């Protein structure tokens, strides 16, 4: 637990889940009785084996699916602005990278010149200034995911939800995008909730790892990581990183056995 966390006022968390459960129409209990508070500005990973209800939980947080029991409360009552990044880039193949990024602004009736300016700015922030006119088909997997992240951030949301966004990418690209995401988080200071099944990724990115157990999906461990160390490629090979990975990995094994 870093000092930075202790300094924060102990006020209500940005997001509070109370006994949140989800039973699908076919009887599957995907999530059962999750209690979780998430502070503003943090980077939280939801870690668990596939099928443990991570996506279901994230979708409920986004308001895409209602919980069947329990409640989700945002500080101040209203849902803040959200960005959502899916596992697939989920781009419209008939639109250029620029138009894909500008989509949230277009749906909000932002004038064309303004939305193009902001989409361009966002594209250069993810290192794709030159690809504005390219279509998704013409981009690599990593570039498509960058476009997808740019689209999620173009409205400058307070909260960014990501559902295993890098799972389908090769390791080199994934490492690069990890660093890009951290850089963007440092720049914009949104609250990040990052779903992953990778121990290494969760430890590299987050200040806090919430480990989930499966059948039914529930919380197993809530691990606060020391956020003071600088996250960069050197960190990946440091003993501190290895130690953190070992402890989170142990918690995950416990969750699998539970």
Ligand X SMILES: Nc1ncnc2c1ncn2[C@@H]1O[C@H](COP(=O)(O)OP(=O)(O)O)[C@@H](O)[C@H]1O
Which residues contact ligand X (rule: CB under 6 A)?
Answer: 24, 26, 28, 30, 48, 50-56, 217
88 binds, among ligand X, another protein, Mg ion, none (CB under 5 to 8 A by kind): another protein
- Work out what residue 30 binds among Mg ion, ligand X, another protein, none; the CB cut-off runs from 5 to 8 Å by kind: ligand X
Range in contact with another protein (rule: CB under 8 A) among 78-86, 115-123, 217-225, 239-247:
78-86
CA nearest neighbour of 49 among 237, 171, 218: 218
Binds Mg ion (CB under 5 A): choice among 30, 31, 44, 55: 55
Q: Which residue is nearest to ligand X (CB)?
A: 55
Per-residue CA distances from 115 to 106, 108, 128 (Å): 7, 10, 16
Residues 43-72 that bind another protein (CB under 8 A): 59, 62-64
Instruction: Starting at the earlier edge strand, list the strands of the sheet with 15-23.
Output: 29-38, 15-23, 69-74
* Region binding another protein by CB under 8 A among candidate stretches 32-40, 111-119, 137-145, 214-222: 137-145
Which option in Mg ion, another protein, ligand X, none does residue 175 bind, with CB closer than 5 to 8 A by kind?
Answer: none
Q: Which long-range contacts (CB under 8 A, 24 or more apart) does 250-253 make?
A: 251/209, 251/211, 251/220, 251/221, 251/223, 252/47, 252/48, 252/49, 252/199, 252/211
What's the CA gap between 216 and 32, in Å, rounded? 6
Cα radius of gyration (the chain)? 18
Identified binder of another protein from the candidate list 30, 44, 60, 143, rule CB under 8 A? 143
Q: Does 92 bind another protein (CB under 8 A)?
A: yes
């Amino acid at each position: 637990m870093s000092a930075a966390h202790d300094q924060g006022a102990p006020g209500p968390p940005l997001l509070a889940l109370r006994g949140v459960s989800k039973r699908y129409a076919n009887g599957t209990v995907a999530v059962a009785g999750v209690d979780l508070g998430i502070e503003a500005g943090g980077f939280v990973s939801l870690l668990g084996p596939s099928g443990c209800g991570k996506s279901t939980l994230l979708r409920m947080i986004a308001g895409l699916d209602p919980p069947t029991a329990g409640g989700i409360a945002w500080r101040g009552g209203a849902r803040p602005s959200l960005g959502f990044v899916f596992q697939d880039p989920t781009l419209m193949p008939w639109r250029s990278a620029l138009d894909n990024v500008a989509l949230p602004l277009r749906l909000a009736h932002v004038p064309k010149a303004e939305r193009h300016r902001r989409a361009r700015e966002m594209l250069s922030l993810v290192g794709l200034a030159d690809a504005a006119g390219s279509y998704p088909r013409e981009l690599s997997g990593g570039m498509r995911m960058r476009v997808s992240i740019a689209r999620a951030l173009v409205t400058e949301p307070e909260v960014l939800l990501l559902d295993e966004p890098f799972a389908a990418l090769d390791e080199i690209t994934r490492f690069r995008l990890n660093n890009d995401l951290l850089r963007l988080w440092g720049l914009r200071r949104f609250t990040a909730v990052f779903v992953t099944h990778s121990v290494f990724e969760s430890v590299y990115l987050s200040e806090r790892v919430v480990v989930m157990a499966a059948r039914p999906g529930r919380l197993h461990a809530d691990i606060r990581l020391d956020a003071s160390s600088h996250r960069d490629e050197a960190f990946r090979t440091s003993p501190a990183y290895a130690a953190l990975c070992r402890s989170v990995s142990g918690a995950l094994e416990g969750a699998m056995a539970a």
